[in-house]
Amino acid sequence: MQVMRIGQFIHLTLILAVASTYAILKSVLPPDDSDRTRIDAAISVLIAVWGALVFIELLRGDTHGKLRERVWSAYRRLLSRPSTLLASNCLLAALCGAGICLLVLYRSVDFYSISDVDVFQSDPGTLSRRIGVLKARTPGSFKLRVGDRWLVFYATFSVDQTVTHGSYPRLVKVTPPWSEMKRVEIPELVHYDTVK
């Protein structure tokens, strides 16, 4: 009986850990990141499966009483089965571990530019995607995945932010969050004819 209580406590702790990790990942990962989409899908499937199990257990149980009490009773019955408790704890631990691994794969990188520039990530084999805009002589930071990242900086007109031909490609080595990383400095880019 003591082992079951410890398992149930671990289960509730893992639910909180997964929810916290998920919330942090949603704020850290770029909106168009493929890992973010996979995480959303995994969480949705997990919630749907667990909800279905609770619903089936609810149908098996007592039909008298308030719905909220019956749902909590069904949930407790599910957690009182060793096989269900062990499987759910293993799944939650794997999900939490994967989330923590993803958290250490991204870090905030500081940038500084003399002129206004548009920042694009253009890694080999991927589509070029816009990361953001750096204002002249104003430090900025963007979240990037750890590893070698090809970034291209395009000169922009500060009035209407139109991209011009002046560009500066650069390989940036993004180090893990626990290591030191210098600020990325971009030289002044020359404005050419505006791209139509």
**Mean pLDDT in runs of 10 for the chain (196 residues)?**
88 93 84 78 89 89 82 88 91 90 86 88 85 87 89 72 65 89 82 44
Provide the 3-class DSSP secondary structure of residue 14: helix
| Residue pair 138/161 in contact by the 8 Å Cβ criterion | no
d(CA 182, CA 139): 13
Q: What is the pLDDT of residue 102?
A: 84
Q: What is the pLDDT of residue 191?
A: 53
| pLDDT one-digit tens code per residue, 81-108 | 899 899 999 999 998 998 888 888 888 8
Domains and CATH numbers, the chain: 2-103 (no CATH), 107-186 (2.60.40)
Q: What is the 3-state secondary structure (H, E, C) of 28-79?
A: HCCCCCHHHHHHHHHHHHHHHHHHHHHHHHHHHCCCCCCHHHHHHHHHHHHH
- Calculate the CA dihedral of residues 37, 39, 45, 51 and round it to 10 degrees: -130
